[in-house]
Amino acid sequence: MEISQIISPDGHIHSIHTREKDSKVLTADFLFPCVSDYICGAIKEGKPFFFSGRSGNAQIGIKTDELSPGKLPRIDTSDIFLEGQIQNLNPLLENALDLFKKGDEIGRLVVMDPELRIQDVRHYLHKRLFVGRRVGKGYYEGFEICQEKDPLTGETCDYISVGLEPYQYCFEPAAINPSSINAVIKKGRSALNSIRSRMPLDLKNTLLNPGQLFVGAIKISLGDIYGIIDAVAEPEQGKIEHLPARVLDPFRTFRDRQVELYNFGDKAVCLDRIRIRIRFFRTKNPLTVPLEKNKVKEGYRLCDLLTNAEVANLLKTIGPESLGMILNKGNFVQIPQALNPRGEAQLEIIKNALLESTYRKTRLRGLDVEDDSFQKTLEKLSVLGGVNSRVFIGREFPDLEVIDALKRSGLRTFLINMNNPSFEDDYIKKMIQLTHASHSGCEFLRYDSDTDKLYSFYHGCFMEPDDRERFDRVRYWLAFYGSHTKEADNRLTIDLINRLAIRLGYEMGIVHGGGPGLMKEANDLARQHNIMSVGIAIDLEGEHQASLTTCDGLIKYKEGLRLARQDHLQKLSNLPIVNTGGYGSAEELAITITSMKIHENPLAPIILLDPDNLWKHAQKQNDEIARRKYGPSFAPRLIKSCPSAEAAELELIRFLGNPDDWYLKNKIPGENVEKARVKSARIRKITLCQEAVEVFQKPNYRLGL
* Domain residue spans of the chain: 1-111, 115-166+201-293, 300-458, 471-703
At 548 the pLDDT is 78
Higher pLDDT, 597 or 582: 597
Distance, in Å, from the CA atom of 550 to the CA atom of 535, rounded to the nearest integer, reads: 9
Residue pLDDT, tens place only, 435-477: 997 666 789 999 999 889 999 999 999 999 999 999 999 999 9
Taking CA atoms, 567 is separated from 242, 448, 563, 578, 684, in Å, by 51, 26, 6, 16, 11
CB atoms within 10 A of CB 381: 22
CATH architecture of 300-458: 3-Layer(aba) Sandwich (3.40)
pLDDT of residue 365: 41
Q: How far apart are the C-alpha atoms of 225 and 286, rounded to whole Å? A: 10
Query: 609: which residues sit within 8 A by CB, 6+ positions away?
Result: 492, 493, 496, 577, 578, 579, 580, 642, 645, 648
Look at residue 545 and tell me whether its pLDDT is greater than 90.
Answer: no
DSSP state of 489: -
CA distance 407 to 540: 33
Mean pLDDT of 665-687: 94
For residue 287, pLDDT over 60 is answered with no
In angstroms, what CA-CA distances link 121 with 145, 163, 279, 671?
8, 17, 9, 55
Instruction: Supply the pLDDT for residue 363.
Output: 38
The CATH number of 471-703, from 2.40.50.100, 3.50.50.60, 3.40.50.450, 2.60.40.10, is: 3.40.50.450
Q: What is the largest CA-CA distance in the chain?
A: 93
pLDDT of residue 139: 79
Model-level pTM? Answer: 0.84
Quote the mean pLDDT of the chain: 88
pLDDT at 28 over 60: yes
194 CA to centre of own chain: 20
Q: Do domains 115-166+201-293 and 300-458 have the same CATH topology?
A: no
- For the ranges 117-126, 291-300, 378-387, 425-434, the lowest mean pLDDT is seen at 378-387
* More confident: 468 or 135: 468
CA distance 408 to 470: 32
Q: Is 581 helix (H, G, I), strand (E, B) or coil?
A: coil
Q: How far apart are CA 483 and CA 354, in angstroms?
A: 49
- CATH no., domain 115-166+201-293: 2.70.40.10
